[in-house]
Amino acid sequence: MGKIADETVVAIADSDTLLGTDSSNGNATRNFLFSVIKSAIADPLVPIGSGSFFSTVDQTVVSGAVGIIAFENARLQNGVSVTVDGSFNVTKIEVAEDGTYNIDVAAQVYRTSSSTAKSVILWIAVNGVDVAYTAQKKSIQNAAGLEPMQASFQVALLSTDYAQVFWTQDSDISLEYTAADGGVPNPASPSASLTVTRAY
C-alpha cells in the first residue's frame, strides 16, 4: 500500500469525514474514508484506541480564568473521538472502549507582552472534574514571542467518560495558530495538537 499523498482535514461533526488519496499503483488512486464517529474502524493501519487531533484557530482565556482547549480537526482516529461540549466547542475526548489512555498535548504558546516572566498551566479533567496532580506549568520569559509547550498525561477512562484539557495563564498568553510559510517553506503550525493512545 502506498502512502497517503493528499489530505483534506475538516472540522469534526457526527457526519464529517477525513478524506485522503492513496497512490499505490502508478496513477491509480483509491480513496480512504475516515469516519469521525468514535465506533467506526476505517483504516487497519490506525491502532484501535488511538487518535490524532489539532486546532487551526487561536485560543485565548482571560488571565486567571480556566479555559478548555479545543481540537476541532481530526487527522486519524480509531476508537477515539473529540466531540462538542455544552458551549459548542470541540473539547470532549471520548473513547469507544474502557482502558488506560496516554494523552499527549502540544501547544504553541504566544505572549503578547514583555514584562516579567509569567506562566501557562495545562491539566486534565475527567467528566468535568480536575484529575489530581496533573497540572503542568511552563514559565514564559519576559520577551514576547512563540514557545512550544508539551504535556503528557495517563488516565483511566470508561466508554461513558470524557476527558478534557484545561488551561490557564496569568498575563497576555494565548495558543497561537500560524499559517504555512512559502518564503521559508514549512507547513502550518496548529495552536494545539492532541495524540491519544491506549496504554492497556
Q: What percent of the chain has pLDDT over 90?
A: 62
HSE on the CB side for 99, CA within 13 Å?
17
Q: Give kind and range of the element (H or E) at residue 120.
A: strand 118-126
pLDDT (average), residues 17-37: 36
pLDDT (average), residues 67-80: 96
Give, in order, the Cα–Cα distances in Å from 71 to each of 37, 49, 53, 181. 15, 17, 6, 22
HSE on the CB side for 156, CA within 13 Å?
0
Residue 98: predicted pLDDT: 98
Interior CA angle at 139 toward 132 and 110, to 5°? 105
**pLDDT class for 112, splitting at 50, 70, 90?**
confident
192-198 and 67-68 as β-strands: parallel, antiparallel, unpaired?
A: unpaired
Residue 18: predicted pLDDT: 39
Q: How many residues does the chain have?
A: 200
Residue 10: predicted pLDDT: 42
Secondary structure of 162-186 as H, E, C letters: CEEEEEEECCCEEECCECCECCCCE
Across 29-43, 47-61, 82-96, 172-186, least confident range: 29-43
Residue 169: predicted pLDDT: 93
Topology of domain 48-198 in CATH is: Jelly Rolls (2.60.120)
pTM: 0.77
Residues 124-179: tens digit of each pLDDT: 999 999 999 999 999 887 666 788 999 999 999 999 999 999 999 988 899 999 99
Q: Where are the domains of the chain?
A: 48-198
Residue recorded with cell 502506498? 2
Residue 118 CA to residue 138 CA, distance in Å, equals 8
Which residues are bridge partners to 144 per DSSP? none
Residues 6+ apart with CB under 8 A from 193: 52, 53, 54, 55, 71, 105, 106, 107
Residue 10 CA to residue 73 CA, distance in Å, equals 6
Residues 6+ apart with CB under 8 A from 88: none
